Amino acid sequence: MSTEVERFFSDQSPLTSEVASFRPRAQQREMAMAVAEAIRGNAILVAEAGTGTGKTFAYLVPALLNGGKVIISTGTKNLQDQLFQKDLPMVRDALKAPVSVALLKGRSNYVCHYHLELAQSNGLFKTREDVKHLGKIVSYAKESLSGDKSGLADVPENAPIWMNVTSTRDNCLGQECPQHSECFVLKARKEAMEADVVVVNHHLFFADVMLRDEGVAELLPTCNTVIFDEAHQLPETASLFFGESISTSQLLDLSQDARIEALTSAKDFAALPKGCDELDKVARDLRLSFKKEGRLPASVAEGFKEFPSALKAAHEKLAQLSGLLEKQAERSEGLENCWQRAQALSQQLKQWQDGDAPDKVRWLEVFHHSLQLNTTPLSIAEIFEKQIDGSARAWIFTSATLAVKQDFSHYQGEMGLLKAQTACWDSPFNYGEQGLLYVPQNLPEPNSEGYTEAVVQAALPLIEASKGRAFLLFTSLRAMQRAHEILQAEFDRRGWDYPLMLQGEGSRNELLSRFREHGNAVLLGSQSFWEGVDVRGEALSLVIIDKLPFAPPDDPVLSARIEQLKKQGHNAFMEYQLPRAIITLKQGAGRLIRDENDRGVLMICDPRIIGKHYGRRIWQSLPPFKRTRDEAVAVEFFSGPATPA
């Protein structure tokens, strides 16, 4: 296989006829050879490949050439679709490999015939838009082969009606469903079982490994290779699924589903709708026991005056509804399912109330409309190590950001991959010529009052020099919104006509599309825009980062992990907080240079990158841009050579 892999990344590559922009890169070839070797030896490989390496082709080619069953897990559904619709077919055609490919998403992405029929019959719609969308979904379900909601462009993916016409793990009737033989989810799983290559996303992979619900668990025993792209996201995703959570939204969904089933199958039992209404009320009261949104440790939340009694009331009403459902469960599969859910939720609520375990942390997250009670493991390393230990298959973890100065120990420790082979390839881009790192002088400390105002004032000369064409990336929504207010006023005062855009004014894809079209826009974003965003060419020539992205120390999971590390004699800041911040910063910095013709300035406003002892470790982990603290030099950079057309 090595010779074939090497040929594929040479001047004679079959890819040259498939991809107009393809050119051989040493880094890509070396990565492909390392992946091929790991697959051949059923090894674990953790591989960082800088932006522009072409890591997708570097893992696809050896995976397809080796044969066998391959699962590829990506960070988002957008990346899933790109892999499935574009990259995989391209490589398959170039290789002339006779492999079958399937796309598998979570069940909430597929129209459910049973719930679609229920929605049509009960007519409980909140808006005319819901009614209009429902008609389109009914037509789509009749003609679609996949039932994947992304195939129906006329109904937005976030339209409320989707909640009524898709299933969840809780309300799926499984083999008892009268529409079982027509099920789109089962069809997708069957195709995945029969395919040589299956594309999933991280949420689906981990939900399934833990819950055995989404079809991946059935695939793993027959699988030869598992590849995680955007693998830097895995610690966060795995923590989410290796823990447990229960939310007021689940209680409200249960009462809504039970109410609908009662209308269909138990109209003569008036106590059931009444029980649903009572659960609705206590679930909403439980959310309202907190005035502010945010995260709280359980120990703090339990000190809130109204929370303990609201939690007790929710548990009591849930138990009462469970009893009512038990009496009616024999009347339909739907009522039986609601009873089983009520029992499971009651058990989860009891477990959360029972208190702390030494290796877990209990905490709450208060959202605008819901409250979620969480239990998260302090470490996922042992749990994940057990998942992959002893399996005769290759595991590939790859991303542009996994290491700190080519040291993978933080990532390996977090994921339980201490036995893994590691490799690192720098980007083929000429960062010394293409980019400049600018750290302004005389900015106040990041926690001082007026810091955001100072950041914006320091940014204005650069925004003017770059003629807009900028991303401003913030570590908090509050700072982002404050900066937007100041910039709006400054643009008006100076008569600048650069379109000013703000995260939240539309979906990320809509905003990016508009940003590219304008060609001189200024976009302010928070977490959503630090990664997975690709704007090539002159439209993005300046990336400004307000602060080093340290996670807030009062985050309940982070503070519990810091406490545990300290007890174990570790330096939590240097071994955990700093590496995580560096990996996030590398993602943000990676938005600037996306191909060999891009050119621009990365402005990091946080003075700690210069003034603190750990600052050197941070900037040495960034691409090797030229560096300056002189505003005039940064402004002058935009008068340099224009980007080739």
Phi, psi of 566 (to 5 degrees): -60, -40
Cα(67)–Cα(99) distance, integer angstroms? 8
- Give, in words, the CATH class of 2-106+186-240+379-425: alpha beta
Is the model more confident about 625 or about 5? 625
Place of tokens 């991809």: 19
Mean pLDDT on 186-194:
91
| DSSP per-residue codes, 130-173 | HHHHHHHHHHHHHH-SS-BGGG-TTS-TT-TTHHHHB--TTT--
Please write the tens of the pLDDT for every residue from 343-369.
999 999 999 998 778 899 999 999 999
Of the pLDDT bands very low, low, confident and very high (cuts 50, 70, 90), residue 645 is very low
Of the pLDDT bands very low, low, confident and very high (cuts 50, 70, 90), residue 641 is low
Whether the pLDDT of residue 117 is over 60: the answer is yes
Q: Which of 12-21, 103-112, 605-614, 635-644 has the highest mean pLDDT?
A: 605-614
Cα(616)–Cα(627) distance, integer angstroms? 12
Task: Return the closest-CA partner of residue 399 out of 240, 532, 210, 243.
Answer: 532
Domain range 242-377, CATH architecture: Up-down Bundle (1.20)
Distances (CA, A) of 12 to 19, 27, 35, 37, 263: 13, 17, 21, 22, 67
Is the model more confident about 247 or about 214? 247
Contact 593, 51 (CB under 8 A): yes
Task: Return the closest-CA partner of residue 210 out of 413, 377, 42.
Answer: 377
Cα(300)–Cα(13) distance, integer angstroms? 61
Mean pLDDT on 498-519:
93
- Residue 81 confidence (pLDDT): 87
- Residue 241 confidence (pLDDT): 87
- Residue 160 confidence (pLDDT): 87
Contact 74, 67 (CB under 8 A): no
> CA 293, 244, 299: angle at the middle one, nearest 5?
55
Rounded to the nearest 10 degrees, what angle do helices 234-242 and 202-211 cross at? Answer: 30
Of the pLDDT bands very low, low, confident and very high (cuts 50, 70, 90), residue 79 is confident
Phi, psi of 561 (to 5 degrees): -70, -40
Place of tokens 């009651």: 346
Of the pLDDT bands very low, low, confident and very high (cuts 50, 70, 90), residue 171 is confident
Percent of the chain with pLDDT over 70: 97
CB atoms within 10 A of CB 117: 15
| Average pLDDT in the chain | 91
In the chain, residues under CATH classification 3.40.50.300 are: 2-106+186-240+379-425, 431-637
Please write the tens of the pLDDT for every residue from 11-33.
778 877 777 777 888 999 999 99
Cα(34)–Cα(28) distance, integer angstroms? 10
Please write the tens of the pLDDT for every residue from 274-328.
999 999 999 999 999 999 899 999 999 988 989 999 999 999 999 999 999 999 8
Collapsed DSSP state (helix, strand, coil) of residue 293: coil
Ranges of H-type helices in 297-332: 298-301, 307-328
- Residue 10 confidence (pLDDT): 84
Is the model more confident about 399 or about 4? 399
Mean pLDDT on 257-278:
90
Mean pLDDT on 462-476:
97
| DSSP per-residue codes, 164-201 | HHB--TTT--GGG-TTGGG-HHHHHHHHHHH-SEEEEE
Is the model more confident about 309 or about 216? 309
> CA 41, 44, 46: angle at the middle one, nearest 5?
130
Cα(548)–Cα(573) distance, integer angstroms? 14
- Residue 643 confidence (pLDDT): 45
Whether the pLDDT of residue 215 is over 60: the answer is no
- Residue 644 confidence (pLDDT): 41
Cα(584)–Cα(578) distance, integer angstroms? 10
Is the model more confident about 212 or about 271? 271
- Residue 348 confidence (pLDDT): 93
CATH no. of 431-637: 3.40.50.300
Residue type for 356, please? D
Is the model more confident about 205 or about 16? 205
Counting Cα atoms < 13 Å in the Cβ hemisphere of 561 gives 22
Mean pLDDT on 608-618:
94
Mean pLDDT on 387-411:
91
Of the pLDDT bands very low, low, confident and very high (cuts 50, 70, 90), residue 374 is very high
In the chain, residues under CATH classification 1.20.1440 are: 242-377
CB atoms within 10 A of CB 517: 10
